[in-house]
Amino acid sequence: MHISEGVLSWPVLAGGAALTVAGTAIGLRKIDYDRIMSVAILSATFFIASLIHVPIGPSSAHLILGGLLGVVLGWAAFPSILVALALQAVLFQYGGLTVLGVNCFNMAAPAVLCYYLFRPMLLRGAGSRFAGAFACGFLAMLLSATLTAAALALSGDEFVGAAQALFVAHLPIMAIEGVITGFAYSFLSKVKPEVLGC
Amino acid sequence: MNRLIIAACLALAATLCLSAVSEAHKVNIFAYVDGDRIVTDSGYSRTKRVYDGEVEVFDAATGTLLLSGKTDTEGKFAFVIPEAAREKKMDLRLLLKAGQGHQAEWTVQYDEFADAPRPVSDMVAEENPAVSEAAPAAAPAAGAAPAVSAGGLTAAQVEAIVRREVDPIKHMLAEMYDSGPSMTDIFGGIGWIFGLFGVAAYMKSRRNP
C-alpha cells in the first residue's frame, strides 16, 4: 500500500507529513530506551514484510504487520515505521520521499489505535490472546486500506471506488496478517514476555 | 534465552527465503520505439504485469495530453507516434496510472523516434500495429526472392530485418528495468535499520550515564 510519487495533491502531502512529524515526536518521547532493540527488530520486520508479496487480482498487495508493531510498540510504531519506509523509498523506490508522511501515517496510525483497543484484552489472559492478536492484525490493515483510500479520495479519486478496490485486494492479506500476528504474539508471550511489556 | 535465539534465527531465515521468491512492489513502465509505433511495457514485476492500467502520453515540455490508452493482459500498450510530436520535436512523457495510488513514468526523447518510419498508410491507429507486425514476417520471404539475387535490399526490408533482430534486446532491457530489490539491497536495509537504532541507543546512553 505504498502510494507513489505524484499521485497525491500538495495539501494531502503536507497534512500527512505534519501528522507523521507529530506522531514521531510523541513516539520518540515514549520509547523506552532499554527496549530500543525491539523497536529496531520490529522496524526490520516491517521493512521485510512488504517484500512478501501476495499476487491478487489486477493489483499488487503485500504484508504490512502494522498490528504487530502497534501492539508491541505503541506510539513507538511511528518512528519505527518511518525509518523502514524511508529506507524502502531510498533503496527500492517503493513509494517516495514526498509521500513518506502520508504513507507512514496510513500505516502507523492504525497501529497505535490497535495498541489502545486491544492491549487491555491481550494482557488479560491466554484464552483470548490469539483471537485478540488476530483481530489486531486484521483491523490494522483494514484501517490502513481505509486511510489510503481516504488520502486518494482527498486528491481527486472517488473514495468508494478506491476503498472497494483496496478492500477487496487486501481482504485475504488481512486474514494472513491476522494469523501471523496471532502466532507471533502468542509465541512472544510464551518465550519472551518482557518484549511485550506484560 | 538460547531457545529464543534459535527461534529468531529460524524465523529470520524463513522470512529471507520468502523474500527471495517475492516480487517487487513498485510499478514500472518502460517504452521503446518499434517501427512507426511506440510500445510501452508496464509491470509490478517480471511476472506480474499491469492489466488494464491507464497510460497517458504527454508533451514533456508543455504537459498537453496527446493520447491515452489501456494496457492489455501482458501490460503492453502500443500507439502510433503522433504526427504532432514529430512536427514539434516533442519529448514524450508517458504516465502509467495502475490504480490505488500506483503510478510511474517514462520519457521517450525526440531523438529516439526522429528517424522512425511514418505509418505505411493513413489507416486508423488500431490497424497500424497489425501492419508493422506483418512487416518483419514478410521480410525473409522477400529476402529470398529476387531482391537478394539482384544484390540489394530495399531500405524498408533492411529496417524490418534490423527490427526483428533488435526486438529480443528491447525485451531484455524491459525485463532488466523491472528487476526487483536484490539480496544486497535487503540486507543493506536491515543493516541501516540496526545501525540507526544503535546510534540512537548510544546517544541516549551517553546522555544518561
- Residue A14 — pLDDT band, cuts 50, 70, 90? very high
- Closest Cα of chain B to A128: distance in Å? 23
Residues with Cβ within 8 Å of residue B116, at least 6 apart in sequence: B33, B35, B36, B81
Q: How confident is the model at residue B151 (pLDDT cuts 50, 70, 90)?
A: low
Q: Which of A53, A144, A187 to mutate to test the interface with B (most CBs of B within 10 A)?
A: A53
Q: Which set of grid coordinates corresponds to residue A155?
A: 486528491
Which chain B residues are closer than 8 Å to A162 by Cβ?
Answer: 100
pLDDT of residue B21: 40
Single-letter residue type at B4: L
In a domain, B168, yes or no: no
Residue A151 in contact with residue A8, Cβ under 8 Å? Answer: yes
Grid coordinates belonging to A73: 510498540
- CA-to-CA dists, residue B127 to B84, B108, B118, B157, angstroms: 19, 23, 14, 20
8 A C-beta contact, residue A85 and residue B183: no
Please tell me the distance in Å from B94's CA to the nearest CA on chain A. Answer: 13
Residue B33 counted as domain residue? yes
Which amino acid would we find at residue B76? Answer: K
Does the distance separating the beta carbons of A187 and B7 come in below 8 Å? yes
Matching residue, cell 527465503: B17
DSSP B183: H
CB contact under 8 A, A36 and B204: yes
CATH number of the domain to which B38 belongs? 2.60.40.730
Calculate the average pLDDT of chain B.
Answer: 76
The verdict on residue B173 lying in a domain is no
Q: Cα separation of B143 and B170, whole Å?
A: 24
C-alpha cell at A146: 481505509
Domain that holds residue B53: 27-119
Does some domain include residue B70?
Answer: yes
Domain tally for chain B? 1
The amino acid occupying position B26 is K
Q: Hey, are the CB atoms on B25 and A60 less than 8 Å from each other?
A: yes
E-assigned strands of chain A? Answer: 53-56, 59-62
Instruction: Answer whether residue B152 is part of any domain.
Output: no
Highest mean pLDDT among A49-58, B25-34, B64-73, B94-103: B64-73
* CA distance linking residue A114 with residue A171, whole number of Å: 18
| Distance separating alpha carbons of residues A180 and A65, to the nearest angstrom | 8
B153-182 residues touching A, CB cutoff 8 A: 180-181
Q: Count each helix (H run) and each strand (E run) in chain B, helices first.
A: 7, 7
| CA torsion, ordered A191, A193, A194, A195, to nearest 10 deg | 80
CB contact set of B147 (below 8 Å; sequence gap of 6+)? B153, B154, B157
- Give me the residue from B99, B180, B194 closest to A59, CB to CB: B99
pLDDT for B143: 44
Task: Tell which residue, B29, B62, B27, has the closest CA to residue A94.
Answer: B27
Task: Report the distance separating Cα A30 and Cα A42, nearest Å.
Answer: 16
Model confidence pLDDT, tens digit, residues A96-153: 889 999 999 999 999 999 999 988 888 876 667 888 899 999 999 999 988 988 888 8
Chain pair A-B, CB pairs under 8 angstroms:
123
Selecting from B4, B22, B190 the residue whose C-beta is nearest the C-beta of A191 gives B4
pLDDT over threshold 90, residue B51 = no
The better pLDDT of the pair A77, B157 is held by A77
Residue B143 lies in a domain: no
Quickly state the pLDDT bin for B130 (edges 50, 70, 90). Answer: very low
H or E element, residue A79 = helix A77-92
Name the band, by pLDDT with cuts 50, 70 and 90, for residue B33.
confident
Sheet holding B65-70: strands in order across?
B65-70, B54-59, B92-99, B102-108
Average pLDDT over residues B196-209: 84
**Residue B155 falls within a domain, yes or no?**
no
Give domain status of residue B151, yes or no: no
Q: Closest partner residue to B103 among A7, A53, A87, by Cβ? A: A7
Distance from CA of B6 to the nearest CA of A (A): 12
